[in-house]
Copies of this chain bind each other. A is one copy, B any other.
Amino acid sequence: MTTDLLPTDAIPQGFQYNAVKAGIKTSGNLDLAVAHAPQGATAAAMFTTNQMAAAPVIVGRKHLEIGGGVIHTLVVNAGNANCATGEAGYNACKEVCFTAAELFGGKPQEVFPSSTGIIGVPFPAEKLMAALPAAKEGLGNAPGHIEHFARAIMTTDTRPKTAHATIEVDGITARILGVGKGAGMIHPQLGPPHATMLVYLFTDLQIKPLYLRNLLQAAVEPSFNSISIDGDTSTNDTVLLLASGACGAVYAPGYHPQVEAALLEVCQSLAHQIVDDGEGVTHVVTLQINRAHSTADAKKIAKAIAHSPLCKTAWSSADPNWGRIIAAAGYSGVHFDPSRVSIHIGRHPVFEHGTVSPSFNKAATHATMQQREFTITVDMAQGDASCRFLTCDLTGEYVRINADYSS
């Protein structure tokens, strides 16, 4: 699913992509990405639930409302989050949308803006507007265009992130393509109409806006809403799903489960890539919470473990310190009887009947934890709800990246 070199036939029809250097990133790298649907695309988005939502989140939400859920052009910049920039930032965002509408066609509300980068620095709208014509000139839908798009939206990411799926719908080949970014401030809590995780999903299926929203919400909950790198929910998180309809097949809910499965697969691949490329990450840990009273309980337990600095630092050294895991579950806010809970790391039992498992093998468990990826399974023996949550370790490198006083 993950792709370094995107095959040409994986690219949805009805979209054109490009990226240019607008001079926003101090590195001088690509920092302005554009995706354009010449015939328009139906759109659904989920945004951060952070109260300090960035200007593009506020504008993007509004544009979807007043534009009837149709988007012609997506304009994304990295290097500046346009967050906590006040009225000036809001106006700057709208100005960019106006300029893009004039240039690419469609109405201003059919432009969807997105930003990622530093918070609280005046937004350089003039740089974006100056670079838009060049972005338009180079539009195309070759794998290279998408790779440029994916690179332009990167911040502390070390590599571009894309995922794709091809499905048959009523005899017609349809495609789903996802492009994402995010490496820090990652604990997305996306709400019906919620980043700085940015994810853009493109499909050439024809999908009504209402169906698109339902499809997106169903795919986001077990993917992007079930990951955490550092527990910090960003002010800019955005997942946008665009459907061009260009392949000619029409999605109908209840009739095309393969579409739902493929969208979920693309989202889960991107979610995994984001955690895997998290700041300073050396281990990717899947928390599988089983037999909880409710999904909400299962998620509370997963998040307590995922956000525990003591668990996360132990993982960084492959330390099978299961005491920290059960202690984190213990303060999650979920009531349980410890004597009923069992914990496995990989396939190794570590905790059962309220204490260390009689067959606990420290050396073997340590060896499993030395792998880059492993799973911790917590069986609550309380009910029949479960959740799968993806997280990572906490390393000295994470501290170095984020303590670097240069911002």
Contact = CB atoms under 8 A, between A and B. Distances in A.
Specify how many copies of this chain sit in the oligomer: 2
Interface stretch (A6-14, A16-24, A258-266, A303-311): A303-311
Contact of A185 (B187, B230, B327, B335): B327
The interface size bin for chain A is 35 or more
Interface in A228-243: 230-235
Contact of A399 (B48, B318, B353, B394): B394
B394 A396 contact: no
A398 interface: yes
Contacts of A366: 405
A401 B290 CA distance: 31
B52 A329 contact: yes
B399 A313 contact: yes
Contact of A84 (B88, B232, B313, B338): B338
Interface centre among A53, A322, A356 (most CB of B within 10 A): A356
Contacts of A318: 405
Interface string A232-257: 11110000000000000000000000
Contacts of A51: 329-332, 334-336, 338
B309 A394 contact: yes
A407 B351 CA distance: 16
A402 B309 contact: yes
Contacts of A402: 309-310, 313-314
